[in-house]
Chain A
Amino acid sequence: RKEVEQDPGPFNVPEGATVAFNCTYSNSASQSFFWYRQDCRKEPKLLMSVYSSGNEDGRFTAQLNRASQYISLLIRDSKLSDSATYLCVVSPYGGSQGNLIFGKGTKLSVKP
């Protein structure tokens, strides 16, 4: 099983749609979780951290399900500018030993 697995997409959605991405991780000891956004030929940038209680930032909602070992990202009212690749990121350990494990990303294309 891959350490961090994402549906590569592409997800093609119309403006205004709601879209959800899931990501599964294999290491049950994982401590920290993030969603990064990467535009074409640009560097990844932090979109949001994912907390156990779930968290929301405007149109974006992130959820963590430790029992099933998956993370989700929900985007409401999609904008053209949301078109990008979304990377699921997991830290396999806590404290000083961890390095981030990146999924390969899910590509989103929002159409007019």
Chain B
Amino acid sequence: DVKVTQSSRYLVKRTGEKVFLECVQDMDHENMFWYRQDPGLGLRLIYFSYDVKMKEKGDIPEGYSVSREKKERFSLILESASTNQTSMYLCASSLLQGNTIYFGEGSWLTVV
């Protein structure tokens, strides 16, 4: 089975703090994704990566950056957290673009 692991499940951060969300997948998938999910807005793509050191902006990249130094690891960075970034963040991976994606369990971030 595909395993996507998000190491931080619940975080509370202060406004202005730098936040790192880490994600690791164990199936040698090429593609990795970061989404956020908010009530009434559904899943929104922040960034995705189709290869090591490659990244593409999704629908809502503002206020976020990403890093993919190794194939299995994709990090989401909030340079200066703001209260409107309070959300559930979901990491996902897929073997090929357009194919089934597999999600991690999610990271619940609260910015106060």
Contacts and interface: CB of A to CB of B under 8 A. Distances in A.
Interface residues of B, number: 22
Q: In terms of DSSP, what is the predominant structure of the interface of chain A?
A: loop
Contacts of A105: 42
A: contact size bracket: 20 to 34
A32 interface: yes
Interface of A: 31-32, 34, 41-46, 49, 87, 91, 93-100, 102-105
Contacts of B103: 43-45
Contact of B45 (A43, A45, A99, A104): A99
Interface stretch (B60-68, B79-87, B94-102): B94-102
17 contacts: A32-B99, A34-B100, A44-B90, A44-B103, A45-B103, A46-B100, A91-B97, A96-B50, A96-B97, A97-B97, A99-B45, A99-B58, A99-B97, A100-B98, A102-B42, A102-B43, A104-B42
B43 A44 contact: yes
Contacts of A95: 97-98
A93 B106 contact: no
Nearest to B48: A99
